[in-house]
Amino acid sequence: MGKISVETCQIEGLKVITPTVFGDKRGYFLETYNYNDFKEAGIDLTFVQDNQSASKKGVLRGLHFQLKHPQDKIVRCIYGEVFDVAVDIRKGSKTYGQWYGVRLSAENKKQFFIPKNFAHGFLVLSDYAEFAYKCTDFYHPNDEGGIAYNDPDIGIEWPLEGIDELIISDKDTKWLTLKETF
């Protein structure tokens, strides 16, 4: 392998990926995705859609998932910094309802692999952030589901220091708790 290092998380299936960065006085180069390296790391999937969003500080997106067309995702922050979260919604999983969060930034260049049947969301920590993700299925707008970002049973510890107000879409304020959703 060598071009990426992969850290497993306490929730089975989640992986934090750190690419090797080749830098010199001109700047840097890295591979954000190489099928062979990811296959060797246990991520042998076909990605069919790339997405990108831009948000300002305090924007919280999520927690989202697809109902009938679940997606595996590789996410990364290409400008700024976000706190990225995945919640296990796999029925029968020993970690059902548990969450894992990681800081992703343009500086640390980490990526987060989130398998199917996880809810996903992120909070923008920097003044501005651009966020990119690869998906293994296409987005189906009528197939979207979600869970309340502040579900007390999940208990996500969002890093709110330095954030004056959360900016949340109307849709994301209406999601129910995990217990009410499933």
Q: What residues act catalytically?
A: 64, 133
Cβ(76)–Cβ(132) below 8 Å: yes
Distance CA 25, CA 139 (A): 40
How many C-beta atoms lie closer than 10 Å to residue 146's C-beta? 18
Sign of the dihedral defined by the CA atoms of residues 94, 5, 119, 117, in that order: negative
Distance CA 32, CA 175 (A): 32
Distance CA 140, CA 70 (A): 10
Q: Tell how strand 118-124 and strand 60-66 pair up.
A: antiparallel
Sign of the dihedral defined by the CA atoms of residues 52, 58, 63, 64, in that order: negative
